[in-house]
Each structure stands twice: as structure tokens, then as C-alpha cells.
Structure 1
Amino acid sequence: MDMSELPLPAAQAYRTLEVRGIRAGSRLAGQDCVAEEVPVALEFNGISHAVMMATPADLEDFAYGFSLTEGIVDSASQIHDCEWSSSVQGYTVQLTIAALCFARLKEKRRNLTGRTGCGLCGTESLTQAVRHPAPLQLAQSFDAGAVSKALAIMRTRQLLLAVTGATHAAAWCTADGDVELIREDVGRHNALDKLVGALIRSGRSAGTGFVTITSRASYEMVQKTAAVGVGLLAAVSGVTGLAVDVAQSAGLTLLGFARGDDVSIYSHPERFKLDTQ
């Protein structure tokens, strides 16, 4: 598909600039599009919790997905309201969550008061550094051809990448390999959180499909995928050792280097059917 034929992404997700340079040995002067990266503050019941650098599109999906994958809520039903606003400083997303969830969040914040900064925000000990999702109980299996099909379709659906060349994507795909939901962001974690948010808000049965991502699969990407009940994660790039460990314990099939018909299976191969000639 000719990328020039794609519709433009949301206007706030990128800007157009005058640029000069060299391309293919010739001087270049003209316009270029760059992806936006701005502070996005997440507030829960009026209390600021986190500020993330993200692309300012699909912010409601981002807030829902972040809330679920970070364990702030257990389901979309515990989010009662979600609104966002913009200012010269950035964007603010205000969520109203269930009282039980807010009490849990406040207790976590209270335990962290007075502590110095650490490499893993929100943790107070090594035992809290890695969150292991509950083991998935899924019978769904997937064909290699479906994953190849989904990755090919996903590339044609990356509108912001087509315009800027600077974003990651995450997609939820049916068992047949059709891409039903896709989200993009300058950050790979943000793209997946946006996808998770879109998925839980859509009411789809997450376990009937799989997730593809354009980045490597680190521990956090596995944790976020398993948290929403998806049983297979396919990454275009490589995986980390901790990602494999968490995927194995969570019952998630982890694929890396999924490009064309090539794929490496790192955990639970029983859920993935390789095409044989």
C-alpha cells in the first residue's frame, strides 16, 4: 500500500517543520513532520500520581491502560470518569476511580513518602521490583501464518509512523491475523498501554486474540500484555531474559524476531502452531 494514500493521524500527534539536510547525496530543503512528545500528567481522584512523556493522542486509552497495567485498578468498571485538558505545560488526564482502588493507591503513596528516588519508580524493595501476573488460563492457540499476516497489516496501519518515521506501535489481532486495534506513541510502553486501554474499553474478549509490537519485548511489555489476559505477544525485535522468565510463569507465549515468516519462540510453544511444508 502506498503510504502517501493513508489518512493523516490526529493533528496534535505531530507538527510540520522546515528542514534542510542531505538525502541520497543531494541537498534537501523543505518540510518534515516530527512526532510530538509532551508531558502527560495522570491524576486519580484529584491527586497527581505520575507524569509520562508521551504522544498526545488517544489519551483516554492511555489512561485506562496505564491504570490497569500498573495495578491501580483491576478492571475498566472501576474507572468512573476520565477527562483530559491541555495547557502550555502539557496535558492532564483526570480519572475518577473506585474508592477501594483509590485507598489502595493512597496507601502505596504513603509508604513511599520520604524515600529517595530509585531506578524503578513506585517500588520500595527488590521483592516489589518485578510483578508477576496471575497465570493465564487460556485454551486459544494461534497459527504462524496469522502472526505473519498481522505484522504485515500492522505496518500499513501505522499512520503516525508513515508521517514521522519516529513512533512505535502495538496492535491487537484476531486469531485469524486481522488487526482490529492499533495504537502508536513515541514510547513503546505508552503504545502498549494505549492498546490495552482501547482493548478493555472496546469490550472485546482479550484472550481470543494476540498482541504484536514493533519494539523489543522487555519484562514490562510481557507484564502489561498478560495483565489484560492476552496469551501471545509477538515482537518484531528481540526479547530479554526476564521477559522470558515472566512469560513462562504467566503462561504467555512470547515470540521474538517476528519478521515475515521468521519467528523465534521463547515460551509456551504449545500455543503456537508453526507452518510446516
Structure 2
Amino acid sequence: MTTALPPLPLDGDAALLRVRPVDGDADEVVAVEMPIALTVNGISQAVMLGTPLDLEDFALGFALSEGWLAHAGELLDVDIDDSRADGIELALRITAAREQGLKLRRRQLAGRTGCGLCGLESLADFHALRPARLAPPTLPHGALARAAAALPQAQQLNARCGGLHAAAWCAVDGTLQFVREDIGRHNALDKLIGARARAIRGGAAAEGFVMMSSRASHELVHKAAMAGIGVLACVSAPSSLAIATAQGLGVQLWAFVREARATRYA
């Protein structure tokens, strides 16, 4: 058992918390994990467990990767209610046209930092979630190694607590453009998808790839494909379903991208 102390001030974000171990005499830093509820035009859609950081990016990225939105322009605004004692609520307001489409397949899901299929009700629902096949960009030699080498230094929050995953958007040559962190690897990717969508709307170049600090799961591959991302690289191992999904969707999947090694599986 630990004793929670006030959140550490970190650029105004409460992503980290000081705790005192029962058998220790000094504080440690841990990542904050809390329920984050998402509503769309007043209707509850999902509750995820995540880190309260970059929440507007998370709302947009989650909506895009789950197929709630077809593009970022369908999200009108996000209201963040952090006054509740039981968690945070992200109230998304979307266009009326998109709301009608969402009502046709309203989904209730309970998220977690582990694995899952976001509340799908049947195997048929799972196999029906198939985005268009992609055409990945060609990466020059050394791009993956450059991204893998830069990722640890870019994980500023993880450096303080050791408990957060990171997803980085990289230029084709492997240069890191921006990074998002979360206690859940899927949440980190959703945040990155949201940040990338905003960058594209602002005129930034869309070509590049994702580098992640985690293993490669089906959910990560599928989210990348839903966002139109053609290359996914992970520092750890892939699962069999991740490989099969990447092959089916045309996602270029790399795993074990670390220590001068990179293995392509799709």
C-alpha cells in the first residue's frame, strides 16, 4: 500500500503522482491512471483507462481510429470536464450527418490498458472492421534505427516514472516529429493519431511512420490502418494476429526495432 501525495507540477499536467512506498523513506513517481469517459453529442460511447494528458488529441484520435469519424473536420469541439471525483469526461460534439451514421452502430465499450476489442459484440463485428488497403511509403536505410534511437530521449514523462508507453510520428527519414505518452499503448497511439490529424489540417506533411515503445498487437495495426498510416514499427515482438492483420491491410509492420535490429513481418 502507498500513500498518495499531491500531483507533481509538470507544465500544468497531472500525469505523474508522488507516492511513498510502505517500506520506503523517500517518495517515488508513478504514472496517473484514471477513467476517461467519452460522449458524442451527449450519448455515452466509451470509458477508457488512461493518463490525463493530451486529452483533445486522445478524443480526436480515438474517434478516428474507432471509426466514429471519417475525418477530423467532423469533430466540432471537445469539452473536457475534469471536475468530477470519479474521472474525466470528454464530451465530443460532431456534425449532425456523422451523428446519424454513428447511431447506426452505437457501441458501448469498457476499455483497459491491456488487450481487448473495444466491446465488439460478435466475431462478425470484428471481421467487418476492415479499412481500405494501404500503400506504405518507402523508408530509406537507417530510418528505423534513427527513430528507435531517438525515442527513449523523447519519452520525457516515462523517464520520470518508468510506466508510460510512447507513440512517435516520424518523418520518412526517421526524424521524430512529435510524441505522445500514456499508460496504455493503445491510448498513446490514439493521442498520436489525433495530433497527426491536427497537424495535417494545419498543412504539415502527412508522409511518415509510427514508432512505438511497445509490442505490436492487432489493435495497434488496426488503429494505424484506420488512420491511413502505412508503416508501424515497434520495439518489441508482434503477435500472430498483428502480422495477419498487417498483411491483409497492407500495413508495413516492423518489430524488434532496437539495438541495431529490425525485423519486417508484413
Contact 1:13 1:56 in 2 (8 A): yes
The alignment partner of 2:106 has SS state of helix
- Are 1:128 and 2:130 matched, yes or no? no
Matches within 5 A, 1:1-277: 8=10, 11-19=13-21, 21=23, 29-86=25-82, 87-109=84-106, 120-130=117-127, 131-138=129-136, 140-203=137-200, 204-206=204-206, 208-267=207-266
Aligned mates of 1:221, 1:259 — CA distance in 2 = 18
What percentage of residue pairs aligned between the two structures are identical?
Answer: 43
Write the deviation string for residues 211-246 of structure 1: whole angstroms up to 9, x where unpaired: 011111111100111222221111111111111111
Contact 1:20 1:30 in 2 (8 A): no
Shift of 1:109: 2.5
Counterpart of 2:173, as a letter, is: D
Aligned mates of 2:80, 2:39 — CA distance in 1 = 10
Relative to structure 1, the CA distance from residue 105 to residue 122 in structure 2 (aligned partners, 3 Å threshold; closer, same or farther) is: farther
Shift of 1:123: 2.5
Match of 1:271 in 2: none
The alignment partner of 1:17 has SS state of strand
The alignment partner of 1:141 has SS state of coil
Shift of 1:147: 0.9
Q: Calculate the aligned-residue CA RMSD, in Å.
A: 1.9
Structure 2 runs not aligned, ≥5 long: 1-8, 109-115
Aligned mates of 1:182, 1:66 — CA distance in 2 = 16
Greater fraction helix: 1
Match of 1:3 in 2: none
Aligned mates of 1:35, 1:189 — CA distance in 2 = 16
Contact 1:132 1:246 in 2 (8 A): no
TM (norm. structure 1) is 0.84
Shift of 1:10: 5.0
Aligned mates of 1:219, 1:85 — CA distance in 2 = 31
Which protein has the larger Cα radius of gyration, Structure 1 or Structure 2?
1
Q: When the two structures are aligned, how many residues end up with a matched partner?
A: 246
The alignment partner of 1:92 has SS state of strand
